[in-house]
Amino acid sequence: MKKMLKNKILSKLNKEALDFKNLKTYTGIKNKKELEKCLQLLKEEGLIVKHKNMFYNPTTIGLYRAKIIQICQKFGFAQRLSDEAKIFIPGKFLKGAMIDDLVLMHPIAPNKNISGKSEEGAVKLIYKKNNCKFTGIIVKKKSKYYVSPDNLTSELMLVSKNNQCPIKANDKVIAKICKRGNKHNMHICNIITNCGSSQKASVCANAIVESSGANIEFPSKMLNEAEKISKTKITKKIKQNRLDLTNKIIFTIDSEESKDLDDAVSIEKSNNCYHVGVHIADVSHYIPFKSILDIEAYKRGTSIYYANRVIPMLPPSISNGICSLNPNVERLTFSALIDVDFNGRIINFDFKKTIIKSKIKGIYREINEILGKNQNKNLTKKYKDVLPSILLMKELYTILKANKIKRGSPQISTTESKIILDEHDFTQNIEKRVQGISEGIIEEFMLLANEAAATLAKEANIPFVYRIHERPSDEKVLALKEISEKLGLDSKNIKPKLKPKVISDLLEQTRDTDLFPIMNIHILRSMAKARYSPSAVGHYGLALDNYTHFTSPIRRYSDLTIHRILTDYLYKKDSSKIIKKHYSKFVAEASKHITETEKRAMLIERSTADCYKAEYMKNHIGKQFNGVITSIIKNGMFVTLPNTIEGFVRIETLKGNYQFDQFTKLIDLKTGHSYKIGQNVSITCTMANVNSGKIDFEII
């Protein structure tokens, strides 16, 4: 009845606006309260709007529904619900909206100087408020306390008189709005948590994590269930249904600090190919679909790693215990058994439920030393049983890497940071994470397994969670062509729907030249973001037609999902029809959800890293460093140090009259002197704000 009434009202308001009396007459509802309740529900869904006692369908008066996705100091962005278009909102048109608010908006004439090419809109009303938690710093003015938000508006928000949490100036806090105003500076908030000093990185990191909505602790009920699972024995019955690989030379290769070892590798060589084994922890054996642990894992989506901490997707007794492929103990695995020819192409593959016993916990650093001809006797002794396999893996890795380049996968240069803390959680050092041959071996072997799993699912035409990376948008391709032409590069093949090989060739044109940093950063910016999808559209960056994530079910829910699907397909002998009925709706929902949880994890990792880097540089104010200009904007330039720390050089600190050439340089209009992307410069650190993670440099 309720659904029929809602549809009847919406159908009528599509044609004309009505007041309450006429709606009551039209619907024939005798119960006034029932109609009022229905109208209220429709308003809360943004499907109708009331103005001067008249009810309207928003679309008939030029309004559309949207979700606020970003708030900055002077503007914001919304995503239109009908087509997911991104809408720019000037600050004065936000009406105090917060992230995740659902709003009704109307279009406004764009100001190209502000929004560029983005469509613009203004908030008409907020029909569903999300009083989300946010981080900030306490500011005291006279006798009143305010919160200065970290990643929202620049406006201060008054702390409620009824606030119960003790606070003082410069405390890092998590706040929540308790009373809304029509502007951000009219909001009143309560302090949920006082995290401590805003000038300690670990405090800021904790606040970032808590305010993100990520679940940090596991409820005791889940921990008890995980503990029970961790004591499960591998019975003879379980072994009977698995391929026994315990006598094979299989081992893990990971970082020293890793405790959740979810992949192990093996290799043999025959006359016509390599026989590669990628053996993945069989998490789906222990975690039933829709169990309490599975539901929690779905909510988390992924494990989150930052500094010296991890927020696991699964409780440690599982992730570090029964499912971790620790050495010299039997473990249940799901193995991808792949034959690779001597040109690095997959010629055959099979997936089997297996049982293994890892021979050793290989360490990246140690294996790199061995492969670097280091004559460390202790390492030689430790790895003597697996050394022939390591050398064979290196042989295949060289082929696979060359094949990746040959098929056109762009070799974009990126850097990762390693944050080293002391016993008091203060930043001791920041180092560049270096990838050696052993890291490359594992990366290439995982790519093989992921490609094989996706190929199997696509050929079987079953529901699946694919890892996709779409080609650059036409707009970004044209921008890349323009940049290439300005640099004097061959750009005739740069056109919409270009193949990865074109971008790869473009990058290789400039490698080992001064132009490489410029092209590297512009190509990186042109790329779409990889995501999860139920559709197999391929992975542009890897130049692969089929790709998924199969190799990390301990820490990624995507992998756990496809393990279940492949298990049902291979072992339950369910028909494609049954599998489609069971999983089609789920993989569509899961793909969207775990893409969002991945974004959240990346934001946490990036934001917390900035805080730790600023804490490190705070102890190096006034000191001299050498760095490289990695990006230039109209207000200045970003300089990156060899240890990956990035700081900003403001244009007003440069001696001269410098202006941005709208391309790659800052040029002094008087002398002609310039600074350009890729140039080496000497700088001093002048400011490091731990709370914001922002660092300022000045050119010496």
The segment with the largest mean pLDDT, out of 182-196, 270-284, 366-380, 521-535, is: 270-284
Burial class (CB in 10 A: 0-12, 13-18, 19+), 3: exposed
Query: Of 259, 314, 307, whose CA–CA distance to 605 is shortest?
Result: 307
pLDDT computed for residue 116 by the predictor: 57
pLDDT computed for residue 152 by the predictor: 84
pLDDT computed for residue 372 by the predictor: 86
Secondary structure of 245-285 in HEC code, one letter for each residue: CCCCCCEEEECCCCCCCCEEEEEEECCCCEEEEEEEECHHH
Q: What is the pTM of this model?
A: 0.88
- Judge contact between 453 and 446, C-beta under 8 A: no
b (16+ CB within 10 A) / e for 511-533 = eeeebbbbbbbbbeebbeebbbb
Report the alpha-carbon distance of residue 465 to residue 51 in Å, rounded: 45
What percent of the chain is modeled with pLDDT above 70? Answer: 98
Where a domain ends, among 84, 108, 128?
Answer: 128
Residues 6+ apart with CB under 8 A from 649: 636, 637, 638, 639, 683, 696, 697, 698, 699
pLDDT computed for residue 509 by the predictor: 87
Secondary structure of 578-615 in HEC code, one letter for each residue: HHHHHHHHHHHHHHHHHHHHHHHHHHHHHHHHHHHHHH
Task: Tell me, yes or no, whether 44 lies in a domain.
Answer: yes
pLDDT computed for residue 132 by the predictor: 78
b (16+ CB within 10 A) / e for 69-88 = eebeeebbbbebeeeeeebb
Same domain, 250 and 369: yes
Task: Tell me, yes or no, whether 212 lies in a domain.
Answer: no
Tens-place pLDDT, residues 103-158 = 999 999 877 555 556 789 999 999 998 877 889 999 999 889 999 998 888 889 99
Report the alpha-carbon distance of residue 193 to residue 135 in Å, rounded: 9
Strands of 358-440, DSSP E:
361-363, 416-421, 427-433
What is the mean pLDDT of the segment spanning 315-336? 96
Task: Report DSSP state, residue 313.
Answer: S
Report the alpha-carbon distance of residue 182 to residue 513 in Å, rounded: 54
Q: Is the pLDDT of residue 199 over 60?
A: yes
Same domain, 11 and 158: no
* Tokens matching residue 326: 């620790």
The segment with the largest mean pLDDT, out of 21-35, 105-119, 169-183, 324-338, is: 324-338
Same domain, 42 and 79: no
The residues with which 177 forms a beta bridge, in sequence order, are: 189
Same domain, 373 and 248: yes
Report the alpha-carbon distance of residue 416 to residue 402 in Å, rounded: 23
What is the mean pLDDT of the segment spanning 155-178? 92
Burial class (CB in 10 A: 0-12, 13-18, 19+), 312: buried
Report the alpha-carbon distance of residue 50 to residue 341 in Å, rounded: 68
* Tokens matching residue 116: 């560029």
pLDDT computed for residue 19 by the predictor: 85
Least-confidence region, from 259-263, 291-295, 380-384, 589-593: 380-384
Strand 188-197 with 157-159, pairing: parallel
SS3 418: strand
What is the mean pLDDT of the segment spanning 603-630? 95
Residues 6+ apart with CB under 8 A from 141: 156
Tens-place pLDDT, residues 3-57 = 788 888 888 888 888 888 888 888 887 888 888 888 888 888 888 888 888 888 8
The segment with the largest mean pLDDT, out of 72-76, 108-112, 187-191, is: 187-191
Query: For the domain that residue 87 is a member of, what is the CATH number?
Result: 2.40.50.140
Same domain, 495 and 396: no
Query: For the domain that residue 7 is a member of, what is the CATH number?
Result: 1.10.10.10
Report the alpha-carbon distance of residue 59 to residue 168 in Å, rounded: 48
Q: Is the pLDDT of residue 219 over 70?
A: yes
pLDDT computed for residue 201 by the predictor: 95
What percent of the chain is modeled with pLDDT above 90? Answer: 68
Residues 6+ apart with CB under 8 A from 287: 229, 293, 294, 297, 314, 318, 560
pLDDT computed for residue 275 by the predictor: 98
H/E stretch holding 518 reads helix 516-526
* Tokens matching residue 236: 């003879």
Report the alpha-carbon distance of residue 23 to residue 5 in Å, rounded: 11
Q: Is the pLDDT of residue 222 over 70?
A: yes
Task: Tell me, yes or no, whether 214 lies in a domain.
Answer: no
What is the mean pLDDT of the segment spanning 474-495? 88
Q: Is the pLDDT of residue 246 over 80?
A: yes
The count of domains in the chain is 6
Task: Tell me, yes or no, whether 675 lies in a domain.
Answer: yes
Report the alpha-carbon distance of residue 57 to residue 9 in Å, rounded: 10
Least-confidence region, from 496-505, 547-556, 645-654: 496-505
Same domain, 264 and 410: yes
SS3 411: coil
Q: How far is CA 300 from the centre of its chain?
A: 13
Same domain, 312 and 229: yes
Where a domain ends, among 479, 505, 527?
Answer: 527
- Judge contact between 281 and 354, C-beta under 8 A: no
Same domain, 443 and 579: yes
pLDDT computed for residue 117 by the predictor: 62
Q: Is the pLDDT of residue 566 over 90?
A: yes
* Tokens matching residue 392: 């064979």
pLDDT computed for residue 332 by the predictor: 97
Q: What is the DSSP string of 117-156?
A: T-EEEEEEEEEE----EEEEEEEEETTEEEEEESSS-SS-
Tens-place pLDDT, residues 628-676 = 999 999 999 999 999 999 999 999 999 989 999 888 899 999 999 999 9
Task: Tell me, yes or no, whether 39 lies in a domain.
Answer: yes
Tens-place pLDDT, residues 365-422 = 999 999 987 667 788 889 999 999 999 999 999 999 999 999 999 998 888 899 999 9
Query: For the domain that residue 185 is a member of, what is the CATH number?
Result: 2.40.50
Q: How far is CA 546 from the centre of its chain?
A: 21
* Tokens matching residue 89: 């909102």
- Judge contact between 558 and 594, C-beta under 8 A: yes
pLDDT computed for residue 486 by the predictor: 85
Same domain, 392 and 511: no
Per-residue pLDDT band at 212 (split at 50, 70, 90): confident
pLDDT computed for residue 574 by the predictor: 66
* Tokens matching residue 557: 């829910």
Q: What are phi and psi of 592, to 5 degrees?
A: -65, -45
pLDDT computed for residue 353 by the predictor: 97
- Judge contact between 667 and 658, C-beta under 8 A: yes
Where a domain ends, among 101, 128, 155?
Answer: 128
Report the alpha-carbon distance of residue 50 to residue 412 in Å, rounded: 53
Query: What average pLDDT does the structure give for the chain?
Result: 92
Query: Of 163, 27, 164, 58, whose CA–CA distance to 121 is shortest?
Result: 58
pLDDT computed for residue 572 by the predictor: 82
- Alpha-carbon separation of residue 628 from 170, 418, 487, 649, 678 (angstroms): 33, 19, 19, 12, 6
Report the alpha-carbon distance of residue 203 to residue 610 in Å, rounded: 13
- Judge contact between 669 and 685, C-beta under 8 A: no
Task: Tell me, yes or no, whether 543 lies in a domain.
Answer: yes
pLDDT computed for residue 77 by the predictor: 93
Q: How far is CA 698 from the centre of its chain?
A: 32
pLDDT computed for residue 112 by the predictor: 59
Range of the domain at 654: 620-699
What is the mean pLDDT of the segment spanning 248-266? 94
Task: Tell me, yes or no, whether 615 lies in a domain.
Answer: no
Report the alpha-carbon distance of residue 216 to residue 204 in Å, rounded: 15
Strands of 39-101, DSSP E:
49-51, 54-56, 64-71, 75-80, 86-90
Same domain, 55 and 73: no
Same domain, 140 and 122: no
- Judge contact between 624 and 435, C-beta under 8 A: no
Same domain, 122 and 175: no
Task: Tell me, yes or no, whether 181 lies in a domain.
Answer: yes
